[in-house]
């Protein structure tokens, strides 16, 4: 209808987070943070350092404190603007654990037990070595998202199943207790959604790996990056072509190259016709080194300044207001407010 006034679509609320369980890898950066930065001003974004997730496996408390600041510094150094986005630490907003308990009561053991990540993390452990926290972790993640009534959750592919469980929990709660939660959508980038390990293209690049040669950390020195890329496994043959089925290692390296150089994969591929893996790897290393340099410089600066503390304190104050509102509605719906 030509004369009808256009209804303004609501700016989507975005929520995402990273566990401070170790130093961040380029997988976290390319699969998550980079996309948060790109979509930041088209949304109403909240980015959390999810430190309560990081204690589902044993971690030294001092290391956890250091990692928490490191992850927050990475968000800001990568371009998250705390004047626009809310940036905060999970444990500063106690509503996360408060809502987790309530959601635990409507989540089934079978659902949690079937989570791929739970199965992967526990397949080699005895039952008595698996904490209940590790099993319940997706419920805490659902609470993170639902507290803020998030419309979109930008994550790497490995977290899709957890966001889908969060949707199921939200739908179930709304059904039992009345419309309370926005049902969120996972948002997964086409390129970079699953950066693979440098030593094994069938495994995801992960900060928890035992082999440091399998990942590149955001804080790795240029020479370490060059060495890791030189040693990265490649596929048989010598041609630089993007063929994930037959050349998975190279497809992964081309993806990394394309994201760091902001060039489409076919354009990168074109440049290396007839040049072989050696030249490609040398240039890839330089692209990664150059791409990380400004981020590393800003991270170092932030780690030394008081700026980070004030950003996180203010972020928690802003987050708490939103979280409390949801929590009050939830308590009301389930009958916790008895007065």
CB of 45 to ligand TYM, least distance (A): 12
Query: Is the Cβ of residue 28 or residue 85 nearer to ligand TYM in the bound state?
Result: 28
- The closest of 78, 48, 97, 45 to 296, measured between CA atoms, is 78
Q: How many C-beta neighbours within 10 Å does residue 79 have?
A: 16
Q: Which is nearer to ligand TYM, 189 or 272 (CB)?
A: 189
CB of 108 to ligand TYM, least distance (A): 19
**Cα three-residue angle 257-263-268, rounded to 5 degrees:** 65
Phi, psi of 153 (to 5 degrees): -130, 95
Q: Which parts of 169-198 interact with ligand TYM (CB under 6 A)?
A: 193-195
Decide if 325 is catalytic: no
Selected binder of ligand TYM within 53, 70, 247, 281 (CB under 6 A): 53
* C-alpha neighbours within 13 Å on the C-beta side of residue 269: 13
124 in catalytic set: no
Q: What's the burial of 131, exposed, middle or buried (CB within 10 Å: 0-12/13-18/19+)?
A: middle
- Does position 296 interact with ligand TYM (CB under 6 A)? The reply is no
Give the side-chain half-sphere CA count within 13 A for 222. 10
Is residue 200 near ligand TYM by the rule CB under 6 A? Answer: no
User: Choosing from 193, 207, 228, 247, which is the catalytic residue?
Assistant: 207
By three-state DSSP, how is residue 202 classified?
strand
Total residues interacting with ligand TYM, rule: CB under 6 A: 26
SS3 90: helix
306 token code pair = 């008081």
Please tell me whether residue 228 binds ligand TYM under the rule CB under 6 A: no
Binding residues for ligand TYM restricted to 93-152, rule: CB under 6 A: 141, 144-145
Angstrom distance (rounded) from CA 33 to CA 259: 13
Could you tell me which stretch among 200-208, 269-277, 283-291, 331-339 binds ligand TYM (CB under 6 A)? Answer: 200-208
Q: Which of the following is catalytic: 10, 42, 121, 126?
A: 121
Contact 59, 298 (CB under 8 A): no
Asked whether 262 and 192 are in contact (CB, 8 A), the reply is no
Report the distance separating Cα 293 and Cα 304, nearest Å. 17
When asked if residue 32 is in the footprint of ligand TYM (CB under 6 A), the reply is yes
In whole angstroms, give the CA distance from residue 339 to residue 333: 14
Residue nearest to ligand TYM (CB): 31
The minimum distance between CB 193 and ligand TYM, in angstroms, equals 6
Active site residue 207: yes
Residues 12-31 that bind ligand TYM (CB under 6 A): 15-19, 27-28, 31
Residues designated catalytic:
121, 204, 207
- Judged by the rule CB under 6 A, the positions of this chain that interact with ligand TYM are 15-19, 27-28, 31-32, 50, 53, 141, 144-145, 153, 155-156, 158-159, 162, 193-195, 204-206
């Amino acid at each position: 209808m030509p004369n009808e006034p256009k209804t303004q679509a609501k700016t989507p609320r975005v929520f995402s987070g990273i566990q401070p369980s170790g130093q961040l890898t380029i997988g976290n950066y390319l699969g998550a943070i980079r996309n948060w930065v790109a979509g930041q001003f088209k949304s109403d974004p909240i980015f959390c350092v999810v430190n309560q997730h990081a204690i589902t496996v044993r971690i030294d408390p001092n290391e956890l404190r250091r990692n928490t600041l490191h992850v927050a510094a990475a968000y800001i150094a990568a371009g998250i603007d705390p004047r626009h986005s809310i940036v905060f630490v999970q444990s500063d907003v106690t509503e996360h654990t408060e809502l987790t308990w309530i959601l635990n009561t409507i989540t089934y053991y079978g659902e949690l037990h079937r989570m791929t990540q739970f199965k992967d993390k526990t397949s080699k452990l005895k039952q008595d070595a698996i904490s209940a926290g590790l099993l319940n972790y997706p419920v805490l993640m659902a609470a993170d998202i639902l507290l803020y009534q998030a419309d979109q959750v930008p994550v790497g592919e490995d977290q899709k199943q957890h966001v889908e469980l969060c949707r199921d929990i939200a739908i179930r709660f709304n059904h039992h207790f009345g419309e309370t939660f926005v049902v969120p959508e996972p948002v997964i980038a086409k390129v970079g959604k699953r950066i693979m390990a440098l030593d094994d293209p069938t495994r995801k690049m992960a900060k928890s790996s035992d082999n440091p040669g399998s990942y590149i950390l955001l804080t790795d020195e240029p020479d370490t990056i060059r060495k890791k890329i030189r040693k990265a496994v490649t596929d048989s043959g010598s041609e630089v072509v993007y063929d994930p089925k037959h050349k998975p290692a190279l497809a992964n390296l081309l993806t990394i190259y394309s994201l760091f150089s902001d060039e489409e994969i076919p354009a990168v591929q074109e440049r290396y016709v007839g040049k072989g893996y050696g030249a490609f790897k040398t240039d890839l290393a330089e692209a990664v080194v150059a791409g990380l340099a400004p981020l590393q410089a800003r991270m170092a600066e932030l780690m030394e300044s008081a700026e980070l503390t004030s950003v996180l304190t203010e972020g928690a104050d802003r987050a708490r207001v939103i979280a409390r509102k949801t929590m009050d509605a939830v308590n009301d719906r389930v009958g916790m407010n008895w007065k």
